[in-house]
Structure 1
Amino acid sequence: MTVPAPVRRLAVADRLLQDPDLVATAVWPRACAWLIRLAVEHAVDGYWSRTRPELTATSRRTQFIVLRHREPDTGPAAEELWSRLSRAAHHHAYELAPTAAELRTWHAEAVRVVRLLA
C-alpha cells in the first residue's frame, strides 16, 4: 500500500522535529516548515483532483479561495496554516526562524487539515 504524499511529508517533518540534528542546525526549522507546507499543498491537490480536477490548473491562491467556500470548516484553517508556513519557510535576514513550539503546533494543525481533506 502506497502512503499518500501528505502523510509522508508529515512523517519526515515529525522526525525532524524529534531529531533536529538530521540537518544543519541553522536550516532545520525552515526545512521543517517547508515539509509541513508541502503536506498541506499535497492534501489540497488531492482534494481538487478528486472533487474538481479543473481547479488543479489554477493558482494556489484561487484554490484556497474556492476551498474556503466549499469547505467552510476546513478551508479557512488550511489557508491560514499555508500562509503562516509560507512566511516561515522563506528566509529573511531580519526575521527569526520558527521555533520548535510553533512548528509542533503547525504540524498538529497540518495533520488535522490533511485528514479532513482526505
Structure 2
Amino acid sequence: MSVSPESLVSAAGRLLRPAAGDAATLTPGLRARAAAILLRMALDRALDAYWLRVTPSMTRVARHRMLCLEWYAGRDTARRCRATWSALSAACHHRTGELPPSPAEIHSRLHEVTGLLEALRARPGTGPVTSASKA
C-alpha cells in the first residue's frame, strides 16, 4: 500500500503543530527534521506520479526528472521543485555542530510542497511546454 503525497504533507503538518500533550515528547528540531523528511517524500511521490503520466521511464533516475521538468511542467514549477527539494534535503541531514531546522522554516516548506502538489496535478503531462508558454 502506498501513502499519498497529501497524507505525507498532513503528517508533516501534525508534527509541526503537535497537540498540547504531544509537544514535550519530541524536541522542536527533531519534529522539524522528521517533517522535512515527510515533505521530501511527498514531493518525490508527486514527481513520480507526474512522470508516470508523462513517461514512466523518467521515474528511474531522480536527477533526470528534475533536469527535464522545466520542459514539461514549466520553468517556474521546475525552479520551485528544485529549490524546495534541495532545501528539504539539507534539512533532512544531521550534521555535527549544526542547528536543526526550525519548525517555522519547515512550515514554510510545507506550504511550498502543497503548492507544488497542486501544480504537478494541474499539468496534464502530455508533452513539452512550448517556449512561448515557458516565459
Same fold (TM over 0.5): yes
Equivalents in 2 of 1:52, 1:96: separation in Å? 40
Q: Please, what is the CA RMSD of the aligned residues?
A: 1.8
Distance 1:96 1:53, change over 3 A: same
What are the superposed Cα offsets for residues 8-38 of structure 1, whole Å, 9 maximum, x if unpaired? Answer: 0000001111117385225211101001111
Q: CA deviation at 1:5?
A: 1.0
Normalising by structure 1, we get a TM-score of 0.89
**Higher share of residues assigned helix:** 1
Superposition TM-score, scaled by structure 2 size: 0.78
Structure 1, 12-21 or 78-87: larger mean CA deviation: 12-21
Taking only the aligned residue pairs, the percentage that are identical comes to 32
Q: Quick check: 25-34 or 44-53, which moved more?
A: 25-34
Aligned equivalent of 2:72: 70
Q: Given that residues 9 and 38 in structure 1 are in contact (C-alpha distance below 8 angstroms), is that contact kept between their aligned partners in structure 2?
A: yes
Match in the other structure for 2:85:
82
- Aligned partner of 1:17 in structure 2 is 16
Structure 1 unaligned blocks of 5 or more? none
Distance in 2, Cα, partners of 1:62 & 1:95? 30
Unpaired runs of at least 5, structure 2 = 122-135
Corresponding position of 1:41: 44
| Matched-pair contact (CA < 8 Å) for 2:5–2:42 | yes
Runs ≥4 in structure 1, deviation > 6 angstroms? Answer: none
Equivalent residues of 2:31, 2:103 under 8 A apart:
no
User: Residues 22, 40 of structure 1: CA spacing in aligned structure 2 closer, same or farther, 3 A cutoff?
Assistant: farther
Tell me if the contact between 1:16 and 1:22 (Cα under 8 Å) persists in the aligned partners.
no
Larger Rg, first or second structure (1 or 2): 2
Q: 1:67 to 1:23 in 2, by over 3 A?
A: farther
Match of residue 55 from structure 1:
58
Q: Which moved more, 1:70-79 or 1:21-30?
A: 21-30
